[in-house]
Structure 1
């Protein structure tokens, strides 16, 4: 056995001769590890671990960021798609249209259009800390997880309102942890993008309520028939419960399940002290609706017209007043049922001052095929009967050859082959012009129209915005005074509203501009004095039975063959027009404006809920006098050719130009007009010349004068002598 030298080092396990422990050489001395070696090694391990963890963290963050980026932007544009709604001048819903895919989704503003009690109940049940959290509520998630762990089933959800909105924006196919994480991320994005009120509004628009109903407004209208501004506790609890499982709780299929869900909401609110026990018991006793109600459909013809004209607008505001519209629709429905089958009714109400349409009833029932309910009879071209007579009288007053207290003959007369007759086939003899209009006598109206000129009447009505339809290739004639022309109820209402405005018409308006502007121009109908005189005469027209006198200035009309019955009237505030007849134009024996349309007109004024307003005050220049005190030319109307005799003098007569003639007076220099020669015969000197009612000087001893016409168009030339006799002609300068 050999001895080992003392100087020979003992090999450590794992070491060989000439090797050292891992690490720096300085850590080993004579084959032994220095005391600080353990601490340095631990530090190196920690440093390496930190690098690994940091790398994993960075890579995970990058992966999460890439995943979030892959989600894309929030799908808010699709959520902004809502049903087109048509509202009245005050924002009340008239009609809504389903979206292209058949869903009902109506815009909501929670702060103004939803019952506060419902909002409080919704937040208390679904998201107590909605106003405090940033989209995700850790307390709610923790509570839901604890309940799931301790009870083995889902007791309450942890989703916030914002997370539920995220799910509605991006519907999921199944419930999973990944889907919940996605909702949480989207909820955080929503909270950064939108305010709390905007999130709540969007949720209330998108929340499902069964079938094709989305949003609180659609559900409230379909189930309760009302806007969600005023909801009972029972209704609020039901609407809170439905979105949790909209298809299994559909009221029209599973009313029992819906009722149980509603009662659970109430029980929980009682447990949390939000609702008293008595209130909850009363709410539970209320039955749930089992059938859906139809969506509002007021003013369907106006709504259809508006949606055809205004595109890509979620809300269209009309000038209509929902209260008046609903009242007049009910009136038309009741009266149509009383008048008999197949008869339709059109009613239009217009604000005199603005020309805005306040009510538009195109038919008694939009869905009644027997009455052609979808045909808008306010826009149908029909024969107006006698409803144009007031404008004949107005132009006669304007021309100055007749006064309301002038006398006029109602006797048989012939104009070539045309012999007008009165409706009752009788004649009244000599009557005041006022009475002739109030009794709607035909012969005096045609006599005045012959003096005014049918072409001039047609031109003036068209100038005021009315679209007159004549038979093909036919010029305006005397027959248009008794209905021989086509016109719509809307145009008649515009003309009568212009008369109520003292001769200044405005085009009717139903669709309000988005910016609230109004670019309509005022149109001339007749002089203010003439318009006031016509309105005063019509105010005295005998009203229908049991109606008040001197409240409404109105006129009736009946077309040839009893096809159309009309009545149009106005007070100081409003003009209303009524048409009654068959949409197919078939005759209806006994259909007369006075008995069929006038009672509806007076009832319409009464149902607006306002007393008739007085007509405007008389403008300056009104001549108020009895017949005996009128100037001689105004005491009695005389047709053309019948001259006034003044003692032994020759009757005053304008020899040139002839009445109704067309004169080409265009000058050469700068578009001026040549002087128009006027030649007069008879009369007592001095003779005064008037152009359009304005005196321009005297006629010389030769009874001739050159007159400067005011411009192209109709010109009224009048000559008056010293004895008060006068003669007038109307010519057209072109």
Structure 2
């Protein structure tokens, strides 16, 4: 009795001396960046150079592989408590009969214990230690957790650890769908990972694979015919590179999300792969030093679904590791739609209004069109679709360059002006800097009805979204811009009226742009040299627009129509428009001679907030006071005529509801003044 107590006490002391389970090291894994659906975009090796990717057996591993693994290594895995007495007894009998170890009798849990505490030699003491650790592991972890941990730590040769790293490196795919030959090979490798390395000893690896197949046939888990076909499959002799999808996004993500093992991005791996291929093909056709930046955004969510920073991350000639979507470049004519949008919002022009495209001078500045010709009198719609410079600058002079700049900044578009310069008319033709990322955010705001949302690429761990919605312009104005851009002539051989888009070419042919949207997504394309050297003939319409249309096609999604026009949108041909809207009059034409005064809304002030609430969802009439102008005067609310103004130049207006309201007054000569107020 005393002897038994002494033995038991000694065993207890020995077990206690082993210390706690060394589970901390299992938390060390390769940082992985995944797409919105959990698909791997890019992984980074651990600090010591090992590849160890997180894995869940039930969701990310082929069931047939698990069947082979448990059938070959641990038939009673789900029934024992860490140690299989039958397997250990069989191993002991084989040792006695043959004089050497034939099989170790180790369970999956015991093998996991060996991985947690590597041993140098196979001995009875080491086996006993594994058994004790296996019992401890079974008490601490569930069967599924044990299997996941084994599949994460099992060695597969070289610096590969875990089933995912091995499957990707040897077969170029995730282990979700494995052939019988692949499954058998992956079962065989961890038993002797270095002597069976595929890139060094493929013949030995093949023999081990076939041994697994033979055992499975004897156990009735695999048919002889299937095993015969699997034996005929050649064992791969070279490792494949780890995936490097969206490298610029991944680099940015790990710089922001430090020490986070799994980072989820908003990207779609399928679309990302397709657009990376498109950029690579088009850059090769355009020239050796040409780079391409490309971003695709989901309109509703404001999520980036594809981000191509360069055609080839590893191409030094194209400065491949420089993310051109974040480079500040001259946008050419791509800011023109926002000039027109503010002009529509202010109510002094309509898409069907007429505007002059003739030589004009603004002080010392005399804008010219790209082709050095003038179109004469054209509809505003055509002026934007043809990207005429003079009408755009005339509208910007009326809207105000500072106002355009502040409105774009308010919506998240950070414009970079030359040092010590204030916003001027030249910004309408590209005399300012902006990134492709910010430009796409602004265009996505047009598609969203004038409501801007900061782009998101890194998903929050809790799945939340705390981004604040920003205002770009009135919904009616935003819709009118999209409707006009939908009619822009597409590049050669492209379908008409599928995408609302705009192109741009910077001064000196340094940057070619094309940004477009449909009812689902917005895509922006930049083409040029990263070093800013001019490329003769590099024009947005011929270099960037074809890539834009091809990008929409390669997403695999059919074009979606733009949203329906908002309430209050004015539909009329030129002859049906109110007289002041039929022709645009530059700012100078508002100045009167003699006793006449320029038309001006005295109250309410532009940009003011007015508390007009008078009860449950009711709003009191808003007084409008006007000075100057030629009678009769016409009042418009959000672009819709509501009647005239009396001889005292006053009127009460019923607000359409809470939010921003655009009030416009026009006189008999065509002069107009507009204010935007917020009703609350």
- TM above 0.5, one fold? yes
In 1, the alpha carbon distance for the partners of 2:661 and 2:145 equals 64
Counterpart in the other structure of 1:654? 599
Secondary structure, in 3 states, of the residue corresponding to 1:316?
Answer: strand
Q: 2:217 aligns with which of 254, 267, 270?
A: 270
Which one has more relative contact order, counting CA pairs under 8 Å at least 6 apart? 2
CA deviations 1:273-313 (Å, max 9, x no partner) are: 22222211111111111110001111111111111111222
Counterpart in the other structure of 2:657? none
Kindly indicate whether the alpha-carbon contact (under 8 Å) linking 1:718 and 1:726 is maintained by their aligned counterparts in 2: no
Kindly indicate whether the alpha-carbon contact (under 8 Å) linking 1:633 and 1:644 is maintained by their aligned counterparts in 2: no
Kindly indicate whether the alpha-carbon contact (under 8 Å) linking 2:569 and 2:639 is maintained by their aligned counterparts in 1: no
Could you tell me how far 1:148 is from its partner in structure 2? 1.6
CA deviations 1:43-78 (Å, max 9, x no partner) are: xxxxxxxxxxx2222222112111111111111111
Secondary structure, in 3 states, of the residue corresponding to 1:642?
Answer: helix
In 2, the alpha carbon distance for the partners of 1:706 and 1:459 equals 31
Counterpart in the other structure of 2:355? 408
Secondary structure, in 3 states, of the residue corresponding to 1:641?
Answer: helix
Secondary structure, in 3 states, of the residue corresponding to 2:464?
Answer: coil
Counterpart in the other structure of 2:100? 153
Could you tell me how far 1:681 is from its partner in structure 2? 3.8
CA deviations 1:345-370 (Å, max 9, x no partner) are: 01100000010111001110010111
Do the aligned partners of residues 163 and 323 (structure 1) sit closer, same or farther apart at CA in structure 2, a change above 3 Å counting? same
Kindly indicate whether the alpha-carbon contact (under 8 Å) linking 2:569 and 2:640 is maintained by their aligned counterparts in 1: no
In 1, the alpha carbon distance for the partners of 2:133 and 2:672 equals 87
Counterpart in the other structure of 1:25? none
Q: 2:673 aligns with which of 709, 712, 728?
A: 728
Counterpart in the other structure of 1:418? 365
Could you tell me how far 1:664 is from its partner in structure 2? 13
Q: 1:619 aligns with which of 562, 566, 570?
A: 566
Kindly indicate whether the alpha-carbon contact (under 8 Å) linking 1:87 and 1:317 is maintained by their aligned counterparts in 2: yes
Q: CA RMSD in A?
A: 2.8
Kindly indicate whether the alpha-carbon contact (under 8 Å) linking 2:630 and 2:669 is maintained by their aligned counterparts in 1: no
Counterpart in the other structure of 2:19? 72
Counterpart in the other structure of 1:457? 404
Q: 2:470 aligns with which of 495, 520, 523?
A: 523
Could you tell me how far 1:192 is from its partner in structure 2? 0.9
In 1, the alpha carbon distance for the partners of 2:512 and 2:412 equals 22
Counterpart in the other structure of 1:178? 125
- Does 1:591 find its partner at 2:546? no
TM-score (norm 2): 0.92
1:508-519 superposed matches below 5 A: 508-519=455-466
Q: 1:134 aligns with which of 81, 84, 88?
A: 81
Do the aligned partners of residues 703 and 619 (structure 1) sit closer, same or farther apart at CA in structure 2, a change above 3 Å counting? closer
CA deviations 1:515-542 (Å, max 9, x no partner) are: 1110111111111110111100000000
In 2, the alpha carbon distance for the partners of 1:182 and 1:732 equals 78
In 2, the alpha carbon distance for the partners of 1:731 and 1:533 equals 18
Q: 1:502 aligns with which of 425, 446, 449?
A: 449
CA deviations 1:235-270 (Å, max 9, x no partner) are: 111101100110111111111111111111111222
Kindly indicate whether the alpha-carbon contact (under 8 Å) linking 1:302 and 1:360 is maintained by their aligned counterparts in 2: yes
Q: How many residues align?
A: 658
Counterpart in the other structure of 1:489? 436
In 2, the alpha carbon distance for the partners of 1:704 and 1:108 equals 72
Could you tell me how far 1:692 is from its partner in structure 2? 8.2
1:169-248 superposed matches below 5 A: 169-248=116-195
In 2, the alpha carbon distance for the partners of 1:688 and 1:196 equals 78
Could you tell me how far 1:655 is from its partner in structure 2? 7.1
Q: 2:492 aligns with which of 523, 528, 545?
A: 545
Kindly indicate whether the alpha-carbon contact (under 8 Å) linking 1:398 and 1:529 is maintained by their aligned counterparts in 2: yes
Counterpart in the other structure of 1:357? 304
CA deviations 1:142-161 (Å, max 9, x no partner) are: 11111121122322221111
Q: 1:439 aligns with which of 386, 402, 412?
A: 386
In structure 1, runs of 5+ residues without a counterpart are 1-53, 666-675, 708-713
Q: 1:369 aligns with which of 287, 307, 316?
A: 316
- Does 1:558 find its partner at 2:505? yes
Could you tell me how far 1:587 is from its partner in structure 2? 0.6
In 2, the alpha carbon distance for the partners of 1:690 and 1:619 equals 16
Could you tell me how far 1:343 is from its partner in structure 2? 0.5
Do the aligned partners of residues 475 and 705 (structure 1) sit closer, same or farther apart at CA in structure 2, a change above 3 Å counting? farther
Larger of the two Rg values belongs to structure:
1
In 1, the alpha carbon distance for the partners of 2:216 and 2:73 equals 11
Kindly indicate whether the alpha-carbon contact (under 8 Å) linking 2:629 and 2:671 is maintained by their aligned counterparts in 1: no
Kindly indicate whether the alpha-carbon contact (under 8 Å) linking 1:649 and 1:683 is maintained by their aligned counterparts in 2: no
Do the aligned partners of residues 297 and 664 (structure 1) sit closer, same or farther apart at CA in structure 2, a change above 3 Å counting? closer
Counterpart in the other structure of 1:669? none
